[in-house]
Amino acid sequence: MIKYQLPPLLWIAIIFTLSSIPRLQLTFESVLGADKMAHAVMFLVLCLLVRRAFFYQDFFPLLKTYALLGAFIFAVVYGILDEYHQTFVPGRVSDFYDVLADTGGALLYVGISWLTRRPKVSEESSQAS
């Protein structure tokens, strides 16, 4: 169980730590959109890890059944809370567009997950015969 629960906790700790650094200046911020891409990737990974953690647990059957939806909601809420947290960090500001990038990353994972797990058209037609 811990092999599925620990990775998202560590990833959350990494995000929180990065968000806690005052006046964080990253070299890629000068590249147009790189900051938002970093947000999207961080939250795509968060959504993936949280989905695995929700799916591979036995305490909450409903959460296991809806692990993908639960992971998406968790990632979006954490993105909002992360931006709120940054309002208390000197030199950092809360940015609505960062929340949108976080949400976009989580939504991208949902889309990829949905596309890779749905039955292929040829499989559906062969089962119908």
What is the rounded CA–CA span in Å between residue 96 and residue 64?
30
What SS3 class is residue 33?
coil
Q: By the 8 A CB rule, do 105 and 44 touch?
A: yes
Angle between helices 67-86 and 2-20 (to 10 degrees): 20
Instruction: Please report, for the chain, the start and end positions of each structural domain, with discontinuous segments joined by +.
Output: 2-18+33-118
pTM of the model: 0.85
Give the pLDDT band of residue 31 (cuts 50, 70, 90): low
Q: By the 8 A CB rule, do 46 and 78 touch?
A: yes
- The per-residue pLDDT for range 33-66, each reduced to its tens digit, is 788 999 999 999 999 999 999 999 999 999 999 9
- The per-residue pLDDT for range 87-119, each reduced to its tens digit, is 999 988 899 999 999 999 999 999 999 999 876
